[in-house]
Amino acid sequence: MEREIETMRESPHWSYSALQTYLTCPMRYYFRYIEHAEVERTPISIPFGRAIHLVLSERAMKGTNYTIVDAKEDFAVYFKGETEVCENLTYKPDEDYWFWDKRGCDMLDVALADWPDDYTVKSVAEAFSVNVPGLSKPLVGEFDLVTVDGGDETICDWKTASTNWPKGKADRDLQATTFAYAYMKKYGVNPVFRFDVFTKAKTPAHHQFYTLRTSDDFDRFVYLAGQIEKAVNNGLFIPIESCMNCAECAYSSRCKAVHRKVA
């Protein structure tokens, strides 16, 4: 059965990922969203993260009846399926499929052991589509988990990361702003936002980061999104060259040659 978010993505739209991609590197945005170019490499972290997300969704929906045995069995199925549909999958030296299969099981041990059940689950994998002033297409996305605790509505987003997040990252993160804005538009409530970060270290750990957004943050988001659409409409696609952007970019070879096509 097709998920609601997949149906929404079939029509023209904006997403947090598209906005963040443009801010990170407009040229990468061009290759991904305009040219729809084939990716040169897909790091294993992408299908791995998707598989972990799917298992956490199962836990959120099924509650305490969902055991660690269930989680690991589902992860094996999801991880295999996600890797099979990836283009040009790549691993780092000394890593392979089974390395990440075991790492995923270790992370799930931590995730389920730390799972809080002292709140009411409002929704899991809830799709949204809202209009943003200045944008010609709706903003589309999906809340991983929405909970209610003591009257507070909280959006929870699951992240897998190589290391723990630095102090202040959650307060600056564009995804929290984007999703809180969408929730406010949809329900008229400014939610709490929580990142659940699961580290992929040899000894996995789980950390939670809470953050809030103000009306001024939302106004700035609307401005930023509008400026990005204007830049895209005007064909402003330049590479932002840095070791952070280029090291594992899926379009690095195309990017290195792009100036030869227009010279």
Tens-place pLDDT, residues 106-122: 999 999 999 988 889 99
Could you tell me which of 131, 125, 147 has the C-alpha nearest to residue 55? Answer: 125
Predicted local distance difference test score (pLDDT) of residue 262: 55
Predicted local distance difference test score (pLDDT) of residue 263: 46
Predicted local distance difference test score (pLDDT) of residue 158: 98
Q: Tell me the pLDDT of the chain averaged across its residues.
A: 94
Q: Is the pLDDT of residue 60 over 80?
A: yes
Predicted local distance difference test score (pLDDT) of residue 2: 60
Q: Rounded to whole angstroms, how far apart are CA atoms 257 and 38?
A: 15
Q: Is the pLDDT of residue 182 over 80?
A: yes
Tens-place pLDDT, residues 12-27: 999 999 999 999 999 9
Band (pLDDT 50/70/90 cuts) for residue 149 is confident
Q: Is the pLDDT of residue 222 over 80?
A: yes
Of 101-110, 130-139, 239-248, the one with minimum mean pLDDT is: 239-248
58 contacts 71 by C-beta, under 8 angstroms:
yes
Q: Which residues of 88-97 are buried (b: 16+ CB within 10 A; e: fewer)?
A: ebeeeeeeee
Percent of the residues in the chain that have a pLDDT greater than 70, as a whole number = 98
Band (pLDDT 50/70/90 cuts) for residue 154 is very high
75: exposed, middle or buried (C-beta count within 10 Å: 0-12, 13-18, 19+)? buried
pLDDT (average), residues 23-52: 96
